[in-house]
Chain A
Amino acid sequence: MTSTESSPHAARYPAGALAFPHRDLIGIGQLERHEILFLLDEAERWVALNRQADKHENLLSGLTVINAFFENSTRTLLSFEIAGKRLGADVVNMHAAQSSVKKGETLIDTAITLNAMRADAIVIRHGSSGATQLIADKVDCPVLNAGDGQHEHPTQALLDALALRHALRDRGQAAEDFTGLKIVICGDILHSRVARSNLLCLQALGATVRLCAPPALMPIGIEAMGAEVFHDFDAALDGADVVMMLRLQTERMSGQFIPSAREYHHLYGLTKKRLNRAAEDALVMHPGPMNRGVEIDSEVADMIDRSIITRQVEMGVAIRMVALDILTRRARGVEGWGAAA
């Protein structure tokens, strides 16, 4: 196959693979600003496709994508599966619960097994930071990180950026990036890979990021990553353009980090009243799943003109499509992306 994927943005980026010279998508930390913008721009095509009645394109026909999830997931797995299928790939899901991981097989052996089955892309979610990189080092095909421990969740940050871009565009505030925006990320920062990926991504795109959490849920040294650190949610919200709420990741907590959900809601729950401290029309985001009444009140989560939570989910499919598209271009022999494998 030699046809080129025509892109309206082609002129803005280096030709071919120079626009995205990575085999894998492990983290936002490995990406340059222009590479993030390239992914977002290329994703627009899939946003449009996903809004049609016929949501199918045979770009990845014949390729096998394995979703290897060593940690429970519903929405991310579903999103990757839909993305692969809409692109025409053969998508296989491997759940750790039903796999030989439970029989004592090491992660590396599992990776080598998947590799031997000639996967064309492997999507990994794992509970340990760095696990995706470990697998990427052992296999021959592109690896996509769908979340590794408390390290990174790059497609989540990309889909958040795309959702935010669309929301701003709908309001007539379209811009190249997020320069000048004040964005608050509030919640369990310590245990959150979403917070780390978003911090890196939003900063790369020009935004000022404020992180807010009680001290026990704020990682030591995060200021060194350029974030403004707050423990007072009201102060963090002051004049904010976007408020991104995170849930408490109780499954990752050993020991007590907060006295009670009630007290947490009192200090850090996003209520309609509290949202008034942010800029007028400030947008509300949440990567899901939400704990309504804990970190976010239903009346905020469901505000039609402010909450873009469902749009985040929509953009997730497009982002995973663009990631699969770009990372398989070399294998598909797309012109300018290297020889066919």
Chain B
Amino acid sequence: MKQQRPLAITGGRLITPDGPRDATLRLVDGRIDALGQEPRDGDDIVDAKGHLVAPGLVDLGVFAIDKPAFHFGGITRAALMPDQSPPLDLPSRVSYIAKSGKPDFWVHPLAAASRGLQGREIAELALMREAGARGIATGRQWIADSGVMLRLLQYAAMLDLVVFAHAEDATLVAGAVATAGEIATRRGLPSAPAQAEAIALTRDIALAEMAGARIHFRQVTTRAGLDIVRSAKARGVKVTCGITPAHFMLSDLATVDFRTFARLSPPLRSEPDRQAVREAIADGTIDVVASGHDPRGPEDKRLPFSDAQPGMAGAETLLAMVLSLVRDELIDVQRAFELVATAPARILGVEAGAIASGFEADIAIVDPDKPWVIQSARMEATAGNTPFDGQPTQGRVTMLYKGGMRINP
């Protein structure tokens, strides 16, 4: 399936890397045409009705391929974490996954850093790159062995593959389901100090710097951790980091009634740390906001808090939550799409995620003010485990294009 006829999107506000501009956008042969063109004879015409014409979202680090949820959320590409069953630690699995979403959704597999994600033996990274891996990930956990981590980063640097790391010292967080502090203590939940993040970041950044590797921390959730990333960036380390909306919308107060939809990894942090995350989004320390999409049914969630699996279904709420930061005047709308599309595409090294000539015609037309209510029971995702259940929000995708082809969100 390929785009047959050129398409002109008129009457919209284009969100380009140079800022918003009211103009027509032409999509030709699955690519974005030179900007500033007018519709031509024979073009199909679509009226954006004054809404935002933005890049389709590139979701950096999801745990499941869940097309209806991604399409609802305006997501046209996702980097899939290797934590699958079985894990993405063989070239054959990577190549199968790389083709699995086409044509209306592109999956960029992240290769498992180690065999079985055990953190001991480095997996066949070069072969997996050839099979379509766009990066390497340590999975849900930290690689505790510093020797393994250094060799992994050196190898990744040679292959010019970015390493997605999980920043929690595994020996400190063993068995913990919450951040140590008043809430966890009142609730009697096994907890670990938030400093587990800063410890992991310090080591991993030191090793990445030594190896000259690119490293991306999928989630940095504490003030101490963000300070470490900020100073590493200032001295030129090739480090980027992300966050999911849960950590800028919620603090550990959300776990007070043992609601397992708020059981996440890393766990929700204190309110001061939540504020630090918002500051880091505003000042550019945080490069990416991703959904961390991890739909989990009752068999994983209808359990006592410490027995439940971590994770939330986030694909449908990602855009609305990021747009809430625009309404809060923390960021502007251009930066919002930088966080959810442009920066993730750049980290993966794909020509997408921006309204730019020659880029893949992955386009989301967004009504940024459209009100709706997040309802766990009525989600497109394979499971409705959202900590935002019942919350009113604003911002919905009204039309979605992948490679110039219309998808019904």
| Chain A residues close to B by CB (< 8 Å) | 29, 106-108, 126, 128-131, 133-134, 148-152, 193, 196, 219-222, 224-225, 254-255
Residues of B within 8 A of A196 (CB): 185-186, 188
Residues of A within 8 A of B183 (CB): 221
Sample (14) of A-B pairs whose CB atoms are under 8 Å apart = A108-B298, A108-B302, A129-B304, A130-B187, A130-B258, A134-B302, A148-B304, A149-B306, A151-B188, A219-B184, A219-B185, A219-B191, A225-B186, A254-B174
Is B174 within 8 A of A129, CB to CB? no
- Is there contact, CB below 8 Å, between B189 and A150? yes
Q: Mark B205-219, 1 if CB is under 8 A from A, else 0.
A: 000000000000000
B245 at the binding interface (Cβ < 8 Å): no
CA distance A225 to B193 in the complex (A): 18
**Contact between A129 and B306 (Cβ–Cβ < 8 Å)?**
yes
Please report the C-alpha to C-alpha distance between residue A116 and residue B180 in the assembled complex, in whole angstroms.
39
B residues 177-201 near A (Cβ < 8 Å) are 180-191, 193
Does B175 sit within 8 A of A, measured CB to CB? Answer: yes
Chain A CB within 8 A of B164 CB: no
Q: Which residue of B lies closest to A131 (CB)?
A: B304
Judged by a CB distance under 8 angstroms, whether B41 is at the interface is: no
B182–A224 CB distance below 8 A: yes
Given A106-B299, A254-B174, A134-B304 contact (CB < 8 Å): yes
Q: Given that A129-B258, A134-B304, A149-B306 are contacting pairs, would A225 and B187 also be in contact in the complex, using a CB cutoff of 8 Å?
A: no
Q: Which 9 A-B pairs have the closest CB atoms?
A: A130-B258, A150-B188, A128-B304, A151-B188, A224-B182, A221-B182, A220-B180, A129-B188, A131-B304
| CB interface residues, B 305-321, toward A, < 8 Å | 305-307
Given contacts A128-B307, A220-B193, A221-B181, A106 and B302 within 8 Å (CB-CB): yes
Distance in angstroms from A108 CB to nearest chain B CB is 5
Check: B303 CB closer than 8 A to any chain A CB.
yes
Q: Bound complex: CA of A149 vs CA of B258, how far in Å? A: 12
Q: Most chain-A Cβ atoms within 10 A of its Cβ — which of B174, B187, B191, B302? A: B187
Determine the distance from Cα of A220 to Cα of B306 in the docked complex, in whole angstroms.
18
Closest B residue to A132 using CB positions: B304
Residue on B with the closest CB to A126?
B304
Kindly report which residue of chain B lies nearest to residue A135, judged by CB atoms: B304
User: Which chain A residues lie closer than 8 Å to B186 at the CB level?
Assistant: 29, 196, 224-225
Q: Which of B273-304 contact A (CB under 8 A)?
A: 298-299, 302-304
Chain B residues near A148: list those with CB within 8 A. Answer: 188, 304
Q: List, in ascending order, chain B residues with CB within 8 A of A134's CB.
A: 258, 302-304
Are B306 and A222 closer than 8 Å at their CB atoms? no
**Bound CA span A196–B187, Å:** 9
Count residues on chain B whose CB falls below 8 Å from chain A CBs: 25
CB pair A151 B187 closer than 8 Å: yes
Report B256 CB to chain A, min CB distance, Å: 10
| Interface contacts beyond A134-B303, A152-B188, A222-B185: sample of 13 additional A-B pairs, CB < 8 Å, sorted by A | A29-B186, A106-B299, A107-B304, A108-B302, A130-B258, A134-B304, A219-B180, A219-B184, A220-B180, A220-B184, A220-B193, A221-B183, A254-B175
Can you list, as one digit per residue, whether each of B236-278 has a CB less than 8 Å from chain A (1) or not (0)?
Answer: 0000000000000000000001100000000000000000000
Hey, which chain B residues are within 8 Å of A150, CB to CB?
Answer: 188-190
B258–A133 touching, CB < 8 Å:
yes
The CA-CA distance from A220 to B183 in the complex, in Å, is 10
Q: Min CB distance, B177 to chain A, in Å?
A: 9
Does the CB pair B303–A107 fall under 8 Å?
Answer: yes
Within the complex, the shortest CB–CB distance from B176 to chain A, in Å, comes to: 10
In the bound assembly, the distance between CA atoms of A254 and B171 in angstroms comes to 11
Partner of A130, one of B181, B191, B305: B305
CA distance A126 to B183 in the complex (A): 20
- Which single residue of chain B is at the shortest CB-CB distance from A200? B186
Assembled-state Cα–Cα distance A26/B244 (Å): 33
Measured CA separation A143–B190 after assembly (Å): 24
Query: Which of B183, B190, B191 has its CB near the most chain A CB atoms (within 10 A)?
Result: B190
* Shortest CB distance A88–B (Å): 33
Residue in A106, A133, A152, A219 whose CB lies within 8 Å of B303: A106
- Whole-angstrom distance between the alpha carbons of A149 and B188 in the complex? 7
Shortest CB–CB separation between residue B252 and chain A, in angstroms? 10
Chain B, residue nearest A130 (CB): B258
> What 1/0 mask marks residues of chain B from 150 to 192 whose CB sits below 8 Å from any chain A CB?
0000000000000000000000001100001111111111110
Cα–Cα distance between A219 and B185 once the two chains are bound (Å):
6
The distance in angstroms between the C-alpha atoms of A254 and B175, with both chains bound, is 8
Question: What chain B residues lie within 8 Å of A224 (beta carbons)?
Answer: 182, 185-186
Q: How far is the CA of A26 from the CA of B80 in the complex (A)?
A: 41
Contact A225 to B182, CB < 8 A, known contacts A128-B304, A129-B258: yes
- CA distance in complex: A133, B181 (Å): 21
Q: Give the CA-CA distance A220 to B193 in the complex, in Å.
A: 8
Q: Which of A151, A152, A220, A225 contacts B191 (CB 8 A)?
A: A220
A221 with B175: in contact, given A129-B187, A130-B305, A134-B258 (CB under 8 Å)? no
A225 touches B175 (CB 8 A): no
Q: Which residue of B lies closest to A192 (CB)?
A: B188
Distance A221 CA – B191 CA, assembled complex (angstroms): 11
Minimum CB–CB distance from A144 to chain B (whole Å) comes to 17
Chain B, residues 390-402, CB within 8 Å of chain A (1/0): the string is 0000000000000
With known contacts A134-B258, A151-B188, A196-B186, A129–B305 Cβ distance under 8 A: yes
Of B182, B187, B188, B306, most A-chain CB atoms within 10 Å = B188
Q: Which residues of A contact B182 (CB under 8 A)?
A: 221, 224-225
For A128, the closest partner residue in chain B by CB is B304
CB distance from A229 to the nearest CB of B (A): 11
Q: What separation, in Å, do the CA atoms of A106 and B187 have in the docked complex?
A: 22
CB neighbours of A193 from chain B (8 A): 188
Whole-angstrom distance from the CB of A195 to the nearest CB of chain B?
Answer: 10
C-alpha gap A54/B257 in the complex (Å): 43
Residues in A with CB closer than 8 Å to B190 are 150
- Residues on A with C-beta less than 8 A from B174 are 254-255
Asked if B185 and A220 sit within 8 Å, CB to CB, the answer is yes
Complex Cα–Cα for A48 and B280 (A): 64
B302 proximity list for chain A (CB < 8 A): 106, 108, 134
User: Contacts of B191 on A, CB cut-off 8 Å?
Assistant: 219-220
